[in-house]
Structure 1
Amino acid sequence: MKTESGATTKNLDWTGERRLFLGVRPDAANARLLADILPLIPTPAKPIAAANLHLTLLFLGQGTAFQARQLTDALAALPLPAFSVLLDEWQVWPGPAVLCLAGDVVDLALAELYQQLLQVASTNGFTPPQHDLKPHITLARHSKTMPELPPLQIRLQAKTIVLFHSESTPQGVCYRPLWQRDLDDTSSTN
């Protein structure tokens, strides 16, 4: 179902809690570039499924359907800016043992959007994140050391925000979209 704000709801009815986060997907061209890197990642690292590639904006943690509906209603009513981010640095984060392509918050629209998301999430009972925003796309889990990978630069032009459900399945974690809406074009150029 699509609303006038450009929001699309898939399923915001469930019992109990789900593990939720807000993020954006790479466009088709960038998704192909990232998917081409996945086979180059050596074991024991486990590459992410190409369908799961995303940039996390805000990890929400466990949430009820009621919280998700309240959150998405609030986000649908706000002007949320589109943004641009350059991802150009390979990093291994030892705590979660992930390999990611990361960048910095340079675009003021991204900083503004992040503050809006924090406010709306807090108002709807979600716990604040433990870390500041570090734009990145995770490409592999169980990464303990930095593999030899070719340099890569991706300019992600975010135009749609998505509420994802992180679901554990026998095949591994799947990121299922529950809701999405278009971001407002602010002509980001940074």
Structure 2
Amino acid sequence: MRTTDPRPLLDRATAQVAELIARVPAERMADPTPCTEFDVRALLGHLVAGVRAAAALGETGERTGLVPAADVPDDGWAKAYEEGRERLLAAWADDAKLEAPISVPWGEMPGRAYLFSGCVLESATHAWDLSIALGGPVALDEELAERALEWAHRFLPAERRGEGVPFEPVRPAPEGADAYGRLAAWLGRTV
């Protein structure tokens, strides 16, 4: 696996999510997503909570957990996400943070690994979820999905599913599926 600086990928992944969030019309908030635990509104809340928590971790080195984004009105998701995204990118700008150990629910790891697993993988996966919920798929950054899938294959193998793992068993991807479809299937979504 390539061990490069994840921040350029993080910037692209969160920019892609921001663009998708800006496209969500108010009347689609209750629509289902391929991530069965979330409708569109709940997915937006999860995404905003995620960038806020990742920003706080970068700022303090301490995990705050995902605090539901209940403070965001339906017409404020794009602004809330962009503010969280900017804070996230600024919080991880210091190169030293890439090697500093951090503790997250799935273990202790260097900041670099967290940004790949907790942020790039999460953003790429939920970008697909949101694009499908909006009637997509819309054109998404294939390299991001390829890198996220590479990471998922390495650190979320098929045999590591079950109790305590927030992913369903691996499902088959349709023949000819793009990188996002293969990533979604690997994480247990029906493609």
Specify the TM-score bucket, using the shorter chain as the normaliser.
under 0.3
Higher-strand-fraction structure: 1
TM-score normalised to the size of structure 1? 0.28
What TM-score do the two structures reach when normalised by structure 2? 0.28
Structure with bigger RCO (C-alpha 8 Å, 6+ apart): 1
Q: Larger helix proportion, structure 1 or 2? A: 2
